[in-house]
């Protein structure tokens, strides 16, 4: 009792006006002016960034029970993965070196039909969440089945997610008909609407797997529930060619003709799109998720991202699922997007490092229509932050922070991660997930999928 009384008395004498304080380092704000604050300080209170500025100006004004020393490090907005299918981590490496059509129809769809159920989804999601936290990702956009289970695991781990319950015209894990899928979608949105971490969304798979009627039903539901829509569009040349033969138009123009596109739409891929389609995407305020590594690995093509950026279309970076990438590493996507478009456009000035980093942070937030709450370190926004080492051999010497972050920094350089004001990783230790248990479960599923 005496110890408890002493503890209580000490607490009474301590007056905190913040929950977490990050002191020192280079704060990479990604605000509108792209301000950099050397020897900065970030104050977090009730999940929100309460103050940001020079340490010398703020240190005497705030106290907190959790002080993080960021000297010699970068304090950055948490990375935003704008497109993935997180449970598919359990299919990582299952079917490589194939084109999308063969990969999807002959390997992935059959594997999903055989193995995907709610326990599988939960196990794959935990594996993905641990990987993303370790790499400094704080927000991700997902489309899959059993999305309610994904949401529950995401909240338990502490990440932010735009999560889309999938609908497709044929039987899939969790539902037998599109009508059953729509019922699941509505229940999912109603359950999670207004949550501080989860933005529930609708996920019609693609124009070639969802009928015009079901696309229209999805849009009507989206408008009624005020829920975003996530959809794959124009990922391959075959998809576009098939649409032109069957409908006499391109996928983007087809969706526009159905009044499907609006400023609550998130388009994944948009690889094979022409100037007129880019104008439609811009006109309707859609966000785009660019997945350079997945598009390269499946030989799907190179999206016209410089043209999108020239039109001020909000374009973020995505990894796609780990079955087609094969990881959820946003640092590799940043590095790749800068290099891919330079060589594709025969122009070394395309997608400079600062632009690539923006695509992984504030522009990714805009692509998900979340730029008002995350994507930059600014007072009033949610405290979604990663702290990154800058003293590795591969980062030495350092002349420009964006060059260092995009061209040399690795996922393993991330030290600590905060989402919504909660520490999820500190000094490389995961705080909300059991890493060894996650690995053990994933290896058990590997045996099942192999038929051992």
The whole-number pLDDT of residue 193 equals 97
Q: Are residues 386 and 353 in the same domain?
A: no
Give yes or no for a contact between 328 and 132, defined as CB atoms under 8 angstroms apart: yes
Give yes or no for a contact between 90 and 124, defined as CB atoms under 8 angstroms apart: yes
Give yes or no for a contact between 36 and 51, defined as CB atoms under 8 angstroms apart: no
Is 403 inside a domain boundary? yes
Is 100 inside a domain boundary? yes
What is the reported pTM?
0.95
Q: Are residues 115 and 196 in the same domain?
A: yes
Strand partners, 419: 422
Domain count, the chain: 2
Q: Among the three residues 315, 342, 367, which one is the final residue of a domain in this structure? A: 367
Is 199 inside a domain boundary? yes
The whole-number pLDDT of residue 236 equals 95
Residue 60 sits in a domain of what CATH number? 2.30.40.10
Q: Are residues 58 and 135 in the same domain?
A: no
The whole-number pLDDT of residue 104 equals 84
Q: Among the three residues 344, 367, 390, which one is the final residue of a domain in this structure? A: 367
The whole-number pLDDT of residue 6 equals 45
Is 443 inside a domain boundary? no
pLDDT tens string for the chain (452 positions)? Answer: 344 444 444 444 468 999 999 999 999 999 999 999 999 999 999 999 999 999 999 999 999 999 999 999 999 999 999 999 999 999 999 988 988 888 888 988 899 989 999 999 999 999 999 999 999 999 999 999 999 999 999 999 999 999 999 999 999 999 999 999 999 999 999 999 999 999 999 999 999 999 999 999 999 999 999 999 999 999 999 999 999 999 999 999 999 999 999 999 999 999 999 999 999 999 999 999 999 999 999 999 999 999 999 999 999 999 999 999 999 999 999 999 999 999 999 999 999 999 999 999 999 999 999 999 999 999 999 999 999 999 999 999 999 999 999 999 999 999 999 999 999 999 999 999 999 999 999 999 999 998 87
Instruction: Return all residues near 193 (Cβ < 8 A) that are at least 6 apart.
Output: 200, 225, 226, 227
Q: Are residues 26 and 125 in the same domain?
A: no
Q: Which two tokens stand for residue 72?
A: 């010699």
Is 184 inside a domain boundary? yes
Residue 100 sits in a domain of what CATH number? 3.20.20.140
What DSSP string runs through 348-380? TTSS-HHHHHHHTTHHHHHHTT-TTTSSS--TT
Is 186 inside a domain boundary? yes
Q: Are residues 153 and 282 in the same domain?
A: yes
Q: Are residues 115 and 257 in the same domain?
A: yes
Q: Are residues 414 and 361 in the same domain?
A: no
Q: Among the three residues 346, 367, 388, which one is the final residue of a domain in this structure? A: 367
The candidate with the shortest Cα–Cα distance to 228, out of 183, 255, 265, 258, is: 265
Is 299 inside a domain boundary? yes
Q: Are residues 199 and 326 in the same domain?
A: yes
Torsional sign, CA 309, 240, 201, 103 = negative
Q: Are residues 54 and 138 in the same domain?
A: no
The whole-number pLDDT of residue 15 equals 85
Q: Which domain holds residue 176?
A: 79-367
Torsional sign, CA 248, 250, 251, 253 = negative
Q: Are residues 195 and 146 in the same domain?
A: yes
Q: Are residues 363 and 396 in the same domain?
A: no
Q: Are residues 291 and 423 in the same domain?
A: no
Is 12 inside a domain boundary? no
């Amino acid at each position: 009792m005496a110890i408890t009384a002493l503890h209580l008395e000490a607490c009474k004498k301590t007056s905190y006006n913040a929950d977490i304080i990050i002191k020192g380092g280079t704060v990479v704000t990604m605000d509108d002016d792209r301000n950099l604050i050397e020897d900065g300080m970030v104050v977090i209170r009730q999940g929100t960034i309460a103050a940001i500025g020079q340490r010398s100006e703020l240190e005497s004004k705030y106290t907190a029970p959790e002080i993080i020393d960021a000297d010699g490090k970068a304090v950055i907005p948490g990375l935003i993965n704008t497109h993935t299918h997180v449970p598919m981590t359990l299919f990582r490496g299952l079917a490589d070196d194939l084109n999308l059509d063969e990969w999807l129809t002959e390997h992935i769809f059959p594997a999903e039909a055989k193995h995907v159920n709610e326990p599988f989804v939960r196990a794959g999601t935990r594996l993905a969440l641990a990987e993303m936290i370790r790499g400094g990702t704080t927000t991700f956009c997902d489309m899959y089945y059993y999305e309610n289970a994904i949401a529950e695991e995401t909240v338990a781990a502490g990440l932010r997610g735009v999560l889309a319950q999938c609908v497709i015209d044929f039987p899939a894990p969790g539902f037998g008909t599109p009508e059953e899928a729509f019922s699941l979608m509505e229940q999912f949105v109603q359950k999670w609407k207004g949550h501080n971490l989860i933005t529930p969304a609708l996920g019609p798979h693609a124009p070639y797997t969802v009928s015009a009627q079901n696309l229209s039903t999805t849009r009507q539901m989206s408008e009624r529930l005020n829920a975003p829509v996530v959809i794959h569009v124009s990922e391959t040349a075959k998809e576009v060619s098939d649409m032109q033969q069957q409908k006499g138009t391109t996928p983007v123009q087809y969706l526009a003709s159905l009044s499907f596109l609006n400023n609550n739409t998130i388009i994944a891929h948009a690889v094979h799109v022409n100037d007129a389609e880019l104008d439609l995407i811009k006109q309707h305020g859609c966000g785009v998720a660019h997945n350079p590594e997945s598009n390269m690995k499946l030989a799907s093509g190179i999206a016209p991202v410089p043209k999108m950026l020239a039109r001020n279309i909000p374009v973020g970076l995505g990894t796609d699922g780990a079955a087609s990438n094969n990881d959820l590493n946003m640092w590799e996507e940043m590095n790749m997007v800068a290099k891919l478009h330079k060589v594709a456009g025969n122009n070394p000035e395309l997608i400079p490092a600062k632009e690539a980093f923006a695509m992984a942070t504030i522009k990714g937030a805009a692509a998900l229509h979340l730029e008002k709450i995350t994507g930059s370190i600014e007072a009033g926004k949610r405290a979604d932050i990663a702290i990154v080492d800058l003293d590795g051999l591969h980062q030495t010497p350092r002349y420009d922070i964006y060059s260092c972050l995009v061209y040399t920094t690795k996922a393993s350089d991330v030290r600590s991660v905060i989402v919504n004001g909660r520490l999820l990783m500190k000094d490389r230790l995961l705080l909300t997930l059991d890493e060894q248990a996650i690995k053990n479960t994933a290896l058990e599923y590997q045996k099942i999928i192999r038929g051992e």
